[in-house]
Structure 1
Amino acid sequence: MTTVRHPYLRLPARSFWRTAVAEPGPVDITDLWTPKFAFGRLMVAELLDRGV
């Protein structure tokens, strides 16, 4: 018989609401998401010029 492990056992503290968001102060919250790609200022300006 195999032992089933808790699926959240090995996740870091940032994966949970209390330790990631509720406990730290508003300016101390980090690592809420990881963007798939970054937009530079020039890229945003080009998109705005195109009306996107």
Structure 2
Amino acid sequence: MKLKVGQQSDALYLTLNEAPANRSEEVSPGILVDYDDQDRVVGAELLYLSKRAP
């Protein structure tokens, strides 16, 4: 598991495993979940991080 914060993109990305993402779905405004080709979650991205956390 890896956690990456993008200062310029104002986003946080959580990688759950190294499988390539096949598709993404916005599950809530500004929250994207990435799935592999077997529909397993491989990562999640939170956009607008500075507005979500102090």
- For the aligned pair, the TM-score class normalised by the smaller chain equals under 0.3
Larger relative contact order (CA 8 Å, sep ≥ 6)? 2
Larger helix fraction of residues: 1
TM-score by length of 1: 0.18
Please tell me whether Structure 1 or Structure 2 has the larger radius of gyration of its CA atoms.
1
Larger strand fraction of residues: 2
